[in-house]
Amino acid sequence: MKRYFQYLREYRLQCILGALSKWIEAALELLVPLVMANIIDKGVTGGRGISYVLWGGAVMLAMGAIGFGCAIFCQRTASIASQGFGTNVRNALFRHINTLSQRELDKVGAASLLTRTVNDVNQMQSAVAMIIRLVVRSPFIAICSVVICLILDWQIGLVVFAASVAVSAVLWVIMKKSVPLYTRNQKNLDRLTQITGENLEGARVVRAFQSRDKERARFDNAADVTLENSLRIGKISAWLNPLTYALINFGVALILFWSGYKVDTGSGLTSGEIIAIINYMTQILNALIVISNLVSLFTKAHASMNRVSEIFDLKSSVKDGGESVADFSAPAVEMNGVSFSYAGDDRYTLNGISMCIPSGATVGIIGGTGSGKSTLVNLLPRLYDVTEGELKIFGHDVRDYSLLELRKLIGVVPQNAGLFSGTVRSNLQWGKDDATDEDYEKALKTACAYDFVMEKGGLDQPVFESGKNFSGGQRQRLTIARAVVGNPKILILDDSCSALDFATDAALRANIASLKGVTTFLVSQRASSLHNADVIFVMEDGKIVGRGRHEELYGTCDLYTEICDSQARSAK
Amino acid sequence: MKGQKMKRNLVRRLLQYIRPYKFYVVCSFILSLLYVGFVLVGPVLYGQAIDAMIGAGAVDFRTVFITAGGFAVCVLMAGLSQKLLGNCVNSLCYKLVCDLRREAFYSLSAAKIRYIDSHSQGDVMTRIINDVDVISDGLLQGASQLFTGVITILITLVVMFVINYVIALVVVVLTPLSLFVASFITKGTFRSFSKQVAVQGQLAAHAKEMIDGQKTVILFNEQENSCKKFEEIDARLYEVGWRAQYFSALTNPSTRFVNAVIYAAVGVLGAIFCILSSESGGVIHLGSLVLGGFTVGKLSVFLSYANQYTKPFNEVSNVVTQLQSAFASASRVFEVIDEEGERTDGDCHLASVKGDIRIEHACFSYSKDTKLIEDLNVSVKAGSKVAIVGPTGCGKTTLINLLMRFYDLDAGKIYIDGVDAKKIPLDEYRKMFGMVLQDSFLAEESIAWNIAYGNENATRAEIEAAAKAAYCDFFIRNTENGYDTVLRGNRSLSQGEKQLLCIARVMLSDPPMLILDEATSNIDTMTEMRIQRAFKKIMTGRTSFIVAHRLSTILDADLILVMNRGAVIEQGTHAELMEKRGFYYNLYNSQFSN
């Protein structure tokens, strides 16, 4: 919890003043019944007359007005402080997420990171607002009401106290019972959402298999479970208001009986005071209900805080490196006994990989799904760090470069090509933000993307979220252009031509081969795409099972031969 | 005017849904009357009790006992009726929610594919899950709040007027203050909240895009820019956010202030009347007005009412906005319910299907202004293998849509074994086809459940046999719980494995005709080979349409349909088409040779 104070620090003053003014309002509100009791006891029964009554009225109005002013001030400061707190936490969290490496991001998952940044921080924010606005007020009113009643008459005050305790107990029990039911309700709703979603997404399958009735029965089932649980929640929560109301007012009835005796024996209890006590009972009830709502709000906020803290606690497993400068006369990539495991244990995804790639070479990597191809190329820009072994780029260990420099050296086209909303230009700017239009156009031409970009509307053609307004093949070519525009020394294409037809694929490879001094890694499922590579690595289960040119491998490496043959079979 | 009429229609329809639960409605009315009545009688009784405590030695114990006892009874009755009222309203709400959801889902499961294709899934889901809740919250909770609120206000006013109409009048005059404040705040809150929602949406959109693409962000060193953009949006959110919060937080203090004013006015007036009344022996002279006597006990009744008085007013003004959103939601839900379903009737029943298919003069387009398929003619003999080829967007998927009758032809006919497809009941028609699409859909249920999807009576042995035949058995056995593994979010299996499962599913249902869509990419070689083999196995002896991306498929096809821009421009066997040296010849050379 402590770490979050820093985000509230600049609003210290608002918090203190806000809480203070709320406290003044509560105190004034507590005094009102006492003033009224005075009006009745002194003005009416005591015979001080109309002028006393009018004075009392003026005091009450003044107190109301001052209280109102205080409350308004408090709401304003609380809004500013809590929204500011939320803003600070959100910014810090998003910044922190941006320092994490792929390993941590994989572990938490994108959807979860998003909910934590948006929803969980909002929960914490409203908790801060409620602390300033209500935590001072409600318990103060509840406790002081009881104390004042005890002062007015300690025996009757005890009745008030007992009633308050009983109400608190009821609130506690009802909350305790209903919370698990609410959790279950959420699960039930998720199930309904899931079935509905499946019937939308799988509408064709449902119809093709004539499963309308089956799906209806499935939904009915889930809907019935939901209904049953809701009814149980309803039955329990319907107790809340009647029980608390009855407890408080039985207290009032008891007080009336008792006051009868007290007034009769002349123990000093006045009718004004009785009215005041009844009034306090109502105040206590309202305050306690607010407190019970606060408790559930804070339970939620606390859970949210823990989820956010989990993210803050993650530290990037990829540490920023030193200040080495690339030595372009050295081999582009050297690997010596590189092993890698996602979990950090002995379940290796890559095992004992060694290679030495001279600058300017074209490298092909082929193998089945899960053979470790993508993992291998992900090690170069340090999306992950090697678990064992040595990985050198241009003569230095990758960890000796600053991350910024290293990633400038390497242009990557990831497997599932992602574009970002904006324009074609803004997407290319990711590769190099100070490039000229000629640079961008050149990159587009290299990536065989120039024609369709110009046809669509040029560099300023809008790009929708994740590039929805481009076809799969167009997206792939744009991400290639994005990687090429920064003039990287090493270019990695991770299965990024899968949606291209053979002709475009070939043209693109020719363009890339003509780039001077660029070392290229081509990861592919298609043997034909790698035909002209200077060296092909055949991967299986995280190991290299064959290396060499196509002619050398075909016929000697069983797996490679099998892949080529199966693809040729379907191609003949 | 139109809006009014629509609203009336909505109300009428909603009443239809409520009709089965008349009992609850009637009980709710009676119970809320009882509840409000008992709650409001309470203060009158204890007021009398207070008046009976005149001073030391002069307490009228009989009255105190009767009134305080009566008060306790009232409290008990009020509590009981409130609890029962809660039960009634809750049951009504939850049952109505269940009914509406069910009906909407039923309509959805029979809706035309056109409806599903043309509506965003998120939107339809929101209608079935959230909007239905809004209806029950707004309409039922709202209506019951409105009802109790109005009765409370009415009874309070009546009692106050009976006791002392001058004070009552003062209260009535001050009331609009509360209404005015409430409506002012509601309006302001609504406006600033809409602004906040918009900015919050932008923030979430940016965060989602960046977090989803974090890998790319890292690779291109874009962290700083991404953070700056986030902070820029967040700064705007701060500006609109605190104002929205502030506005909505004004409600409680303002209500309390209005309450305080009324309380003070009632207190002062009441006290003065008490003094006047005791000075002139039980009557009050106000100029020429003569009022009945006023006592401290009566004052206590007024004070207690004044304390609770503005609450129903706030509730009532809240209900208005609640009702508005409930109506909006209701019309959205009814849109789903009213969606016209597929026509499933037909009177031709084919006992056994050979699998001859003829398409004659078929015309079709998704929207009226862009033509797609025009005068399509195809004739396929039973048991033959038809390959469909053509560039992206040429109408291959549309052809599948038409064959499966997901969409109806605008003109022309499809004949199965010489029978007009439209005369065959839809379910029977679709039973004749087995379909394996590229991104075929699997439900979040167990693997066995998914394989048996088309065939509920399949035994475990039959399921496993089908899985073995479709080369799924080995990877199913490798999953956590084998055939009982639940497919969570479809993440547990690869694309290719999913397609194999879909093949197993079709094998189990054993249809006479097939529609297959070959996978294009991202499937590793071994799986790919298995799919090819499974396809081959399942196609023997069945009329099959296959969207082809591979040479092996088209070379041995009995008929190749070459499609471009919605029309079949060439058809024939591979040899015939190559000889023609037309579109197919070029397509073949560019796409299939390397």
Look at residue B84 in the predicted model and tell me its pLDDT.
95
**In angstroms, what separates the C-alpha of A352 from chain B's closest C-alpha?**
23
Give the nearest partner residue to A79 out of B102, B246, B591, using CB atoms: B246
Please give the single-letter amino acid code of residue B337: I
Q: Give me the residues of B, 46-65, that contact A with CB < 8 A.
A: 46, 49-50, 52-59, 61, 64-65
**In angstroms, what separates the C-alpha of B221 from chain A's closest C-alpha?**
6
Look at residue B392 in the predicted model and tell me its pLDDT.
66
CB contact under 8 A, A234 and B454: no
pLDDT at B553 over 80: no
Say if B215 is an interface residue toward chain A (CB within 8 Å): yes
CB contact under 8 A, B528 and A563: no
- pLDDT tens for each residue of A257-302: 888 888 888 777 888 888 899 889 988 988 988 888 888 888 888 9
Please give the single-letter amino acid code of residue B255: T
User: How many percent of chain A have pLDDT more than 90?
Assistant: 44
Say if B286 is an interface residue toward chain A (CB within 8 Å): no
Look at residue A98 in the predicted model and tell me its pLDDT.
92
Q: What mean pLDDT value characterizes chain A?
A: 88
**In angstroms, what separates the C-alpha of A499 from chain B's closest C-alpha?**
7
Say if B590 is an interface residue toward chain A (CB within 8 Å): yes
> What is d(CA B594, CA B574) in angstroms, rounded to the nearest whole number?
18
- Return the higher-pLDDT residue of A67 and B141: A67
Report chain A residues whose CB lies below 8 A from the CB of B231: 91, 94
> How does DSSP classify residue B285?
E
Q: Give alpha helix (H) positions in A457-518.
A: 472-484, 502-513
> What is d(CA A545, CA A560) in angstroms, rounded to the nearest whole number?
9
Look at residue B519 in the predicted model and tell me its pLDDT.
65
**In angstroms, what separates the C-alpha of A278 from chain B's closest C-alpha?**
9
Say if B281 is an interface residue toward chain A (CB within 8 Å): no
- pLDDT tens for each residue of B63-74: 888 988 999 999
pLDDT at B593 over 60: no
Helix, strand, coil % in chain A, rounded to nearest 5? 65, 10, 20
Look at residue B490 in the predicted model and tell me its pLDDT.
47
CB of B283 closer than 8 Å to CB of A87: no
Question: For an interface test with B, which of A275, A526, A560 has the most B Cβ atoms less than 10 Å from its Cβ?
Answer: A275
Give the nearest partner residue to A200 out of B124, B219, B509, using CB atoms: B124
Look at residue B591 in the predicted model and tell me its pLDDT.
65
- pLDDT tens for each residue of B242-258: 999 898 888 888 888 88
Q: How many CB pairs under 8 A join A and B?
A: 438
Q: CA of A45: which chain B residue's CA is closest?
A: B275
Look at residue B121 in the predicted model and tell me its pLDDT.
79
User: How many percent of chain B have pLDDT more than 90?
Assistant: 23
**In angstroms, what separates the C-alpha of B590 from chain A's closest C-alpha?**
6
- pLDDT tens for each residue of A363-405: 999 987 778 888 899 999 998 899 899 999 999 999 999 988 8
- pLDDT tens for each residue of A290-312: 888 888 888 888 988 999 999 99
What does DSSP say about strands A490-494 and A350-357: parallel, antiparallel, or unpaired? unpaired
pLDDT at B460 over 80: yes
Report chain A residues whose CB lies below 8 A from the CB of B339: none
Report chain B residues whose CB lies below 8 A from the CB of A129: 245, 249
Q: CA of B403: which chain A residue's CA is closest?
A: A208
Cα–Cα–Cα angle for B438, B440, B441, rounded to 5 degrees: 155
pLDDT at B111 over 50: yes
Residue B386 Cα to chain centre, angstroms: 42
Q: Give me the residues of B, 399-418, that contact A with CB < 8 A.
A: 404, 406
CB of A404 closer than 8 Å to CB of A324: no
- Is B404 exposed, middle or buried (CB count within 10 Å of its CB: 0-12, 13-18, 19+)? middle
Report chain B residues whose CB lies below 8 A from the CB of A261: 59
Q: CA of A210: which chain B residue's CA is closest?
A: B427
Question: For an interface test with A, which of B220, B233, B307, B498 has the most A Cβ atoms less than 10 Å from its Cβ?
Answer: B220
Least confident residue range of A235-244, A352-361, B142-151: B142-151
- pLDDT tens for each residue of A487-496: 999 999 988 8
Which residue, A284, A339, A17, is CA-closest to A143? A284
Look at residue B594 in the predicted model and tell me its pLDDT.
45
CB contact under 8 A, B303 and A275: yes
Q: How many CB atoms lie under 10 A from the CB of residue B23?
A: 11
Fold: same for A1-138+292-317 and A333-416+488-570 = no
Would you place residue A572 in the very low, low, confident or very high pLDDT band (cuts 50, 70, 90)? very low
CB of A199 closer than 8 Å to CB of A206: yes
Q: Give me the residues of B, 495-514, that contact A with CB < 8 A.
A: 496, 505, 509
| Structural domain B1-162+320-342, CATH architecture | Up-down Bundle (1.20)
Say if B454 is an interface residue toward chain A (CB within 8 Å): yes
Fold: same for B1-162+320-342 and B357-592 = no
Residue B373: HSE in the Cβ half-sphere, 13 Å Cα cutoff: 31
pLDDT at A227 over 90: yes
> Mean pLDDT across the stretch B110-131?
86
A333-416+488-570, CATH topology level? Rossmann fold (3.40.50)
CB contact under 8 A, A207 and B217: no
Please give the single-letter amino acid code of residue B143: A
pLDDT at B16 over 60: yes
CB contact under 8 A, B454 and A84: no
CB contact under 8 A, A227 and B219: no
Report chain A residues whose CB lies below 8 A from the CB of B303: 36, 275, 279
Token pair for B366: 């998704």
Q: What residue spans define the domains of chain B?
A: 1-162+320-342, 357-592
Report chain B residues whose CB lies below 8 A from the CB of A243: 79
What does DSSP say about strands B357-364 and B373-380: parallel, antiparallel, or unpaired? antiparallel
Say if B461 is an interface residue toward chain A (CB within 8 Å): no
The domain defined by B357-592 carries CATH number 3.40.50.300: yes
How long a stretch of residues is chain B? Answer: 594
- pLDDT tens for each residue of A160-199: 999 999 999 998 999 889 888 988 988 898 899 889 988 9
**In angstroms, what separates the C-alpha of B204 from chain A's closest C-alpha?**
7
Reported ipTM: the value is: 0.84
DSSP calls for A178-208: HHHHHHHHHHHHHHHHHHHHHHHHTHHHHHH
Report chain A residues whose CB lies below 8 A from the CB of B200: 118
pTM comes to: 0.77
3-class secondary-structure state, position A492 = strand
pLDDT at A462 over 60: yes
User: How many percent of chain A have pLDDT more than 70?
Assistant: 98
Least confident residue range of A138-152, B33-47, B80-94, B189-203: B189-203
Q: How many CB atoms lie under 10 A from the CB of residue B274?
A: 24
First to last CA, chain B: 68
- pLDDT tens for each residue of A9-35: 999 999 999 999 999 999 998 998 899
CB contact under 8 A, A227 and B98: yes
Give the nearest partner residue to A207 out of B95, B121, B406, using CB atoms: B406
- Return the higher-pLDDT residue of B587 and A27: A27
First to last CA, chain A: 67
Find where tokens 């005075």 sit: A38
CB contact under 8 A, B529 and A566: yes
Report chain A residues whose CB lies below 8 A from the CB of B109: 199, 206, 212, 215-216, 219
Which residues have CB under 8 Å from A328's CB, separation 6+?
A359, A394, A489, A517
> Mean pLDDT across the stretch B389-399?
77
> What is d(CA A6, CA A89) in angstroms, rounded to the nearest whole number?
9
CATH of the domain spanning A1-138+292-317: 1.20.1560.10
> What is d(CA A181, CA B300) in angstroms, rounded to the nearest whole number?
42
CB contact under 8 A, A242 and B82: yes
Would you place residue B486 in the very low, low, confident or very high pLDDT band (cuts 50, 70, 90)? confident
> Mean pLDDT across the stretch B39-63?
84
- pLDDT tens for each residue of B156-208: 888 888 888 888 888 888 877 777 887 788 788 888 888 888 898 889 889 98
> Mean pLDDT across the stretch A223-243?
92
Give the nearest partner residue to B594 out of A94, A279, A502, using CB atoms: A502
Q: What residue spans define the domains of chain A?
A: 1-138+292-317, 333-416+488-570
Least confident residue range of A183-192, B31-40, B431-440, B443-452: B431-440
**A439-456 per-residue burial string, b: 16 or more CB within 10 A, e: under 16:** bbbbbbebbbbbebbeee
